[in-house]
Amino acid sequence: MSAVDLSLGDPELTMGEGVRRQFDYWMTVYKRTWRSTVISSFLSPILYVVAMGVLLGGFIEGDPDKLEGATSYLAFVVPGLIAGHAMQTAVGETTYPVMGLMKWQRVYDSMLATPLQVRHLVTAHLAFVAFRLVLTCGVYTLVLAPFGVFESWWGPILAFLAQVLVGMAFASVIYGFTTRLNSPEGFGVLFRLVVFPLFLFSGAFFPVSNLGGVGAWVARLTPLWHGVNLSRMFALDNITWWVAGVNVAVLLVLTAWGWWWSVTGLTKRLVS
Amino acid sequence: MAETSASDSMIIARGLRKSFGDFEAVKGIDVEVRAGEAFGFLGPNGAGKSSTMRMIAAVSPVSGGELRILGMDPATHGPAIRGRLGVCPQEDTLDNELNVRDNLYIYGRYFGIPKAEVNERTDELLEFVQLTEKSKAKVEDLSGGMKRRLTIARSLINRPDLLLLDEPTTGLDPQARHVLWDKLFRLKQAGVTLVITTHYMDEAEQLCDRLVVMDKGLIVAEGSPLALIREHSTREVAELRFGVGEHEALAEKVADLGERVEVLPDRLLVYSDDGEEVIAKVHERGLEPVAVLVRRSTLEDVFLSLTGRTLVD
């Protein structure tokens, strides 16, 4: 028996290397699931646009003073809908799938038996969510571009980035939430008491000023509003830059804090 | 830094402890595993074997004492250690969403092995665990024995220096266990160091060159299976089965026939170097057991002698 080589390897992997090693895994996951995501990612949003934007919006007067600068209700609702949809995609990707990998199939356990560490797992998973968001929001925006809902050529590009950003803020925070759940029952509460009310009342469908003084300010404190507002300001080329700065800062801070909260949550869960 | 003095020691533990809150699962154990040997942790459920394994696998932080794996400290070199370990966990952690082949391929990528190389090793390993025909099958369609074999194949994808097997055959039928033992024996022949936890004494006897018996977080004995049996038990055991509830009372009447008598709920064990002689004397005394059996001592008897309890409750 030859002596074992005890030379010390690199103590740990860089973030880039750790994430790169999971690329094949996430691509395999995507190849297997993309068909089922087509409906939730592309079909339902289009149905929303037709029902809310075109049919319901046909009854609403396109007054730019009342619609935050939009000349039609369709133009008003589209940037908000995409932001809201980004939130839902992000929540969908970081609830049951995370619970499954962490608790049901324990795939994360098997990944942690390799040189990968918790922070690599969280980052690669969130990178996959980012990929899904880029695809969903990108297609959504491209499909709607010919309908005259955007006021400039660069506006929708910035709006698209805002939508991905708000999606990532939700993805990282909800990931952290999931790592602290013992059963999927918490998801029902999350969907009914957080996601759905946010979708309805964070300014996607109507200007939050309609909620009245206190209501409007409460709405402006919700993370989704920051994404909706940012997305709409860019799409309608009606930008108040200091507000945009606040929106971006809030979403970036949430994303960063959520990442940290996810890493600590998953570490407590799996490395004991 | 690496401990050059012990260059063929794969694992060195000194006063190793693990606690979860107030509960102390491992209460200070000393272990040394040398390159090329098959080393076992034998003990009942809850003895601290799995906690020890998780510390050795560099996934569970050490609570106290010292631990070096492949000369490295898991606290600072966890990823480097894990890169050279193969881990076969107690519960299968295969990805049910991936097919059999992808489970190996994807896992190999986590170790940073280039694609072409992983593909080659995947084919080799599928062959080794006799799952080539199942390579496109879904994991959930595999039998328990096949899943275990796939898990073992997966743990070998990085050509580990040290293979950790936590209860490798628990829940398998006898035939599947023998197939698996054969695979493990081949790995051992090929020079892979094996560390096995088990609560099956036959598994420990089959596979381990050396083992420690654990109970309640401590090591109660250490040695080769044969040496442990020699030291802690007699050559043979006479098993006497009487009517229900009679064993306790009858123990006294046969106590002088062997070195030691153990009373189990369903039988008496008389430890002696000549079991047949014990049986003959039992009959001479007019006792009429319902059934008798003479067998060689096993690790089960060692455990019974050390702790007063059986391995599998």
- B157 → chain A, closest CA residue: A114
How far is Cα B277 from Cα B290, in angstroms, rounded to an integer? 18
- A120 → chain B, closest CA residue: B110
How far is Cα B269 from Cα B263, in angstroms, rounded to an integer? 6
pLDDT score recorded for residue B169: 87
End-to-end CA distance of chain A: 35
| Residues contacting residue B61 through CB under 8 Å, at least 6 positions apart | A271, B55, B74, B75
| Residues contacting residue A111 through CB under 8 Å, at least 6 positions apart | A22, A121, B110
**Is some CB atom of chain B closer than 8 A to the CB atom of A36?**
no
Q: Which residues of B148-174 are buried (b: 16+ CB within 10 A; e: fewer)?
A: bbbbbbbbbbbebbbbbbbbbbbebee
Give the gap in angstroms from C-alpha B76 to the nearest C-alpha of chain A: 7
Predicted-complex ipTM score: 0.89
Helix axes A241-270, A118-144, angle to 10 degrees: 140
Residue A67 corresponds to which tokens in the numbers above?
A: 């619609």
- Interface A-B, measured as beta-carbon pairs within 8 A, has a size of 113
The strands making up B64-69's β-sheet, listed across from edge to edge, are B23-34, B9-20, B64-69
pLDDT score recorded for residue A158: 96
A4·B77 Cβ contact <8 A:
no
**Which residue positions in chain A have pLDDT lower than 50?**
1-8
Q: Domain B4-224 - what CATH class? A: alpha beta
How far is Cα B313 from Cα B306, in angstroms, rounded to an integer? 16
Tell me which chain B residues have a C-beta less than 8 angstroms from the C-beta of A115: 79-80, 82-83, 110-112
Tell me which chain B residues have a C-beta less than 8 angstroms from the C-beta of A4: 7-8, 10, 35, 70, 161
- pLDDT of residue B258 exceeding 60, the answer is yes
Q: Which residue has the tokens 């600590």?
A: A264
B191·A111 Cβ contact <8 A:
no
B2·A7 Cβ contact <8 A:
yes
Which of A99, A114, A117 best tests the B interface by mutation, with the highest count of B CBs <10 A? A114
Q: Which string of DSSP letters, residue by residue, matches A159-198?
A: HHHHHHHHHHHHHHHHHHHHHT-SSTHHHHHIIIIIIHHH
Q: Which amino acid is at A258?
A: G
Tell me which chain A residues have a C-beta less than 8 angstroms from the C-beta of B20: 272
Of A13, A25, A113, the CB nearest to B87: A113
- pLDDT of residue B138 exceeding 90, the answer is yes
- pLDDT of residue B30 exceeding 50, the answer is yes
C-beta neighbour count of A79 within 10 angstroms? 32
**Is some CB atom of chain B closer than 8 A to the CB atom of A12?**
yes
Residue B214 corresponds to which tokens in the numbers above?
A: 């654990």
A110·B95 Cβ contact <8 A:
yes
DSSP A45: H
> What is the β-pairing status of strands B210-215 and B38-42?
parallel
pLDDT tens-digit profile of A95-122? 999 999 999 989 999 999 999 999 999 9
Nearest to A141 by CA among A41, A30, A33, A252: A41
The angle subtended at Cα B64 by Cα B61 and Cα B65, nearest 5°, is: 115
Decide yes or no: CATH 3.30.70.980 for domain B234-296. Answer: yes
pLDDT band at B5 (very low <50, low <70, confident <90, very high): very low
pLDDT tens-digit profile of B65-79? 999 999 999 999 999
pLDDT band at B7 (very low <50, low <70, confident <90, very high): low
pLDDT score recorded for residue A179: 97
DSSP B98: S
How far is Cα A259 from Cα B10, in angstroms, rounded to an integer? 36
**Is some CB atom of chain B closer than 8 A to the CB atom of A109?**
yes
Of B83, B87, B191, the CB nearest to A9: B83
How far is Cα B137 from Cα A140, in angstroms, rounded to an integer? 36
A21·B109 Cβ contact <8 A:
yes
pLDDT score recorded for residue B313: 56
- This prediction has a pTM of 0.90
How far is Cα A56 from Cα A95, in angstroms, rounded to an integer? 32
pLDDT band at B155 (very low <50, low <70, confident <90, very high): very high
